[in-house]
Amino acid sequence: MSDCSKHIPVLLHETIKYLNLSDTGVYVDATLGMGGYTSEILKNSNCRLISIDRDPEAISNSYSLKRKFGVRYTVVNDLFSNLEKILKNLNIDKINGIAFDFGVSSPQIDNPDRGFSFRFDSPLDMRMGRNILSATDFINNNDRNTIENILRNFGEEKKARQISKAIVSSRPITTTKKLANVIYSVLGGPKRNQIDPATRTFQAIRIAVNNELEEIKLGLNASLKLLAPKGRITAVSFHSLEDRIVKNFIIQNSSMQSNANRHLPQTSKNKPKLKIISKKPVTPSENEIYTNPRSSSAKLRVAEKIEYKINPSCEAA
C-alpha cells in the first residue's frame, strides 16, 4: 500500500492558499488520487473533508489517512459528477470549497497493468474506474470516422485521418506497444528531447474511454450549486481542452447573462454567481517544474461564490 502523505501534487501550496480553509468549513477533494491535496487540507485546518475518486486503487491508498484523521475525513469511491448525490447521502447541503485536479494520475500512468502508457508493452486498457468499455474496446469496435473525430477533437491531432486509417487496417490492436507502433508508422518514431508522437492519440483515447471532458463540465456545475457564499472552486488542468472548459465555466458564471437587459434590475437569474480570484491562471514555479517535469503544463484557476445580502426593504415589500 502506498503512503499518500509522501505524494506532492502539482501546485499544492497554491491550491491550499486559494481554498481559504476554515476550521468550521466543509470541503471536497474531488480527485483524491494519491491523497496529496487531501492530506494537506486536513493538516492545515480542523475542517471536515470529503474525498472522491473513481479509481478503487486510490480509495485503497487512502486508508492510512482515514486512520490518521478519523471522523472528520470521509472517502467515497464514485465519479465527481455525482457530487450532489454523494453529499446528499452524507446529509451535507453546502460546502465551503472544492479542489479539482484533472487528468490521469502518476500511479495510473506508471503502472503497466493499467494500460495508459506507450512506455510499456501492456494490455491496452486506460480505464480510470469501473468503466465497462476499455481502450481495446474503443479501438477495435468503432468505425474509422469515429476514431478520427476523437483523435482530432480530444487529441488535437493534425494527422487524425491517416492515423485512424492505419488503426483500422491494423486491427485487432490489444496492446499499448502495438498501438504506439501503428502511430509511429504514420508520424515517425520518438525523437530525443521531443514529445513522443503517440502522446496526442493516447490522450484522445483515454479522454474518450473515461468521458473526461463531460465529467469536468458536470462536476463544475454541481460544485457551483453546492458552494456556500464565499466558497471557492480551485481547478488544476493539464491540457488546453480541460483548461478551456474551466475558463469558460468561470467566465460564464462571473458575468451577467448575455441575454439580460443591462438597463433592467438584476435578478437571481441574471446575477453573476462567481467572482474570479485568479485573473490569470496560476502556473508552477521553475523549481516545481524542475523537480516534477509533469507539472510544466499545469494551470490553476480559482473562483469564489458571490455572497448577495438581502435588502430588508425589498424583503418587506
List the Cα angle 69/75/76 in 5-degree steps.
170
Tens-level pLDDT at each residue, the chain (317 residues): 344 444 578 999 999 999 999 999 999 999 999 999 999 999 999 999 999 999 998 898 888 999 999 999 999 999 999 999 999 999 999 999 999 999 887 777 877 788 788 888 999 999 998 888 999 999 999 999 999 999 999 999 999 999 999 999 999 999 999 999 999 999 999 998 889 999 999 999 999 999 999 999 999 999 999 999 999 999 999 999 999 999 999 999 998 544 445 555 555 567 899 999 998 999 999 999 999 888 999 999 999 999 987 665 554 44
Q: Are residues 239 and 188 part of one domain?
A: no
Residue 26 CA to residue 267 CA, distance in Å, equals 28
Residue 311 CA to residue 20 CA, distance in Å, equals 27
Among candidates 87, 79, 40, which has minimal Cα distance to 227?
Answer: 87
Query: Looking at residue 317, what is its pLDDT?
Result: 44
Among candidates 42, 46, 33, 50, which has minimal Cα distance to 107?
Answer: 33
Query: Looking at residue 113, what is its pLDDT?
Result: 81
Parallel, antiparallel, or unpaired for β 299-305 and 274-276?
Answer: antiparallel
Residue 155 CA to residue 187 CA, distance in Å, equals 14
**Helices and strands in the chain, H and E counts:** 15, 7
Q: Are residues 217 and 88 part of one domain?
A: yes
Q: What is the DSSP letter of 81?
A: G
Dihedral sign computed on CA atoms, order 263, 265, 269, 270: positive
Q: Are residues 296 and 233 part of one domain?
A: yes
C-alpha to C-alpha distances, 116 to 53, 121, 200, 262, 278, nearest whole angstrom: 17, 10, 12, 49, 32
Query: Looking at residue 3, what is its pLDDT?
Result: 42
CB 40 within 8 A of CB 64: no
Given strand 299-305, what is the order of strands in its sheet? 73-77, 48-53, 26-29, 95-101, 227-237, 299-305, 274-276
Question: Which domain-ending residue is among 149, 181, 210?
Answer: 210
Question: Each residue of 242-286: pLDDT tens digit?
Answer: 999 999 999 999 985 444 455 555 555 678 999 999 989 999 999
Residue 50 CA to residue 126 CA, distance in Å, equals 26
Query: Looking at residue 192, what is its pLDDT?
Result: 87
Q: What is the DSSP letter of 282?
A: B
CATH, residue 172: 1.10.150.170
Q: Are residues 29 and 77 part of one domain?
A: yes
CATH, residue 288: 3.40.50.150
Q: Are residues 280 and 206 part of one domain?
A: no
Query: Looking at residue 273, what is its pLDDT?
Result: 96
Q: Are residues 121 and 72 part of one domain?
A: no
Residue 99 CA to residue 91 CA, distance in Å, equals 20
How many domains, in total, are found in the chain? 2
Question: Which domain-ending residue is among 193, 210, 227?
Answer: 210
What range defines the domain where residue 182 resides? 108-210
- Cell 496529496 belongs to 36
Query: Looking at residue 8, what is its pLDDT?
Result: 72
The three cell numbers locating residue 265:
434590475
Query: Looking at residue 193, what is its pLDDT?
Result: 84
Half-sphere exposure for 79 (CA within 13 Å, toward CB): 19
The three cell numbers locating residue 6:
509522501
Question: Which domain-ending residue is among 168, 188, 210?
Answer: 210
Mean pLDDT of the chain: 90
Q: Are residues 312 and 217 part of one domain?
A: yes
Query: Looking at residue 2, what is its pLDDT?
Result: 40
List the Cα angle 191/194/196 in 5-degree steps.
75
Q: Are residues 120 and 54 part of one domain?
A: no
Q: Are residues 95 and 114 part of one domain?
A: no
Q: Are residues 196 and 166 part of one domain?
A: yes
Q: Are residues 235 and 302 part of one domain?
A: yes
